[in-house]
């Protein structure tokens, strides 16, 4: 849902910035690479130290590159399969860094093995959720379902909670509980989304196989 509405809104907002980058000679691929590097730095430098507020600020600044690079490519008329592949691949890297940063915190200073495991589950399930759609589409299926918690929802829920939890360092009491709650929500939502996509692919593949069998039967009858 957020992919549908928030992406359209921020694309309009960021269009002038994307045009400026093109005018000064920055390429969409460079924005993709820089954005991913910034997200990884924010997640893997700040989060393992428990600096959730500043880590979230850094990540938020760079995560918008995911919208800027595509906007630049469309404005320049240079959209390509390579650009789409690079963008999608580095999205997975950035997501892995964010939840990996959470896991490192709970494995270290956060000292909570259960939440470390939940963060790792969020990391793995997010990757698999993306894979199911990509793999289904690669075998010719529409995979006509988005699911309860897509990438946008995973990022918004986890980063908003992390940023607010980071206010604990500024003296806000009790707010650090928001991050564990968010991780459990993302884990449960990712599991539901995974099931939704697997069920959809199973149904669509059965329908496609039945249609193919019927077509072969019709040709044989002729």
Q: Which residues are annotated as a binding site for Mg(2+)?
A: 66, 69, 87, 91
For residue 113, the tally of other CB atoms under 10 A from its CB is: 10
Which of 91, 111, 113, 209 is labelled catalytic?
A: 91
Q: Could you give the CA distance from residue 29 to residue 150 in angstroms, rounded to a whole number?
A: 24
H-state helical runs in 24-112? 28-41, 52-63, 65-76, 81-107
- What DSSP string runs through 168-209? GGGT-TTGGGHHHHHHHHHHHHHHHHHHHHHHHHHHHHHHHH
Residues with Cβ within 8 Å of 217's Cβ and at least 6 positions away in sequence, in order, are none
Quote the CA–CA distance of 140 and 26 in Å, as a whole number. 35
Catalytic, 209? Answer no
Annotated binding site for a CDP-1,2-diacyl-sn-glycerol: 29-32, 70, 74, 80
Other residues' Cβ atoms within 10 Å of the Cβ of residue 55 = 28
List the catalytic residues. Answer: 91
């Amino acid at each position: 849902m957020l992919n549908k509405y928030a992406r359209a809104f921020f694309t309009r907002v960021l269009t002038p910035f994307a045009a400026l980058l093109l005018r000064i000679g920055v390429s969409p691929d460079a924005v993709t690479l820089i954005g991913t590097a910034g997200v990884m730095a924010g997640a893997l430098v700040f989060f393992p130290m428990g600096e959730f507020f500043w880590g979230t600020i850094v990540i938020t600044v760079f995560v918008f590159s995911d919208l800027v690079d595509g906007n630049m490519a469309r404005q320049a008329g240079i959209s390509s399969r390579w650009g789409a592949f690079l963008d999608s691949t580095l999205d997975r890297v950035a997501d892995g860094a964010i939840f990996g940063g959470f896991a490192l915190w709970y494995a270290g200073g956060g000292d909570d093995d259960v939440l470390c495991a939940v963060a790792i589950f969020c990391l793995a399930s997010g990757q698999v959720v993306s894979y199911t759609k990509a793999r289904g589409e690669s075998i010719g299926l529409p995979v006509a379902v988005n699911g309860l918690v897509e990438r946008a929802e995973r990022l918004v829920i986890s980063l908003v909670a992390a940023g607010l939890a980071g206010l604990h360092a500024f003296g806000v009491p009790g707010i650090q509980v928001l991050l564990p709650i968010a991780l459990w929500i993302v884990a449960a939502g990712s599991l539901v989304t995974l099931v939704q996509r697997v069920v959809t692919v199973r149904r669509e593949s059965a329908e496609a196989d039945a249609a193919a069998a019927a077509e072969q039967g019709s040709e044989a009858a002729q």
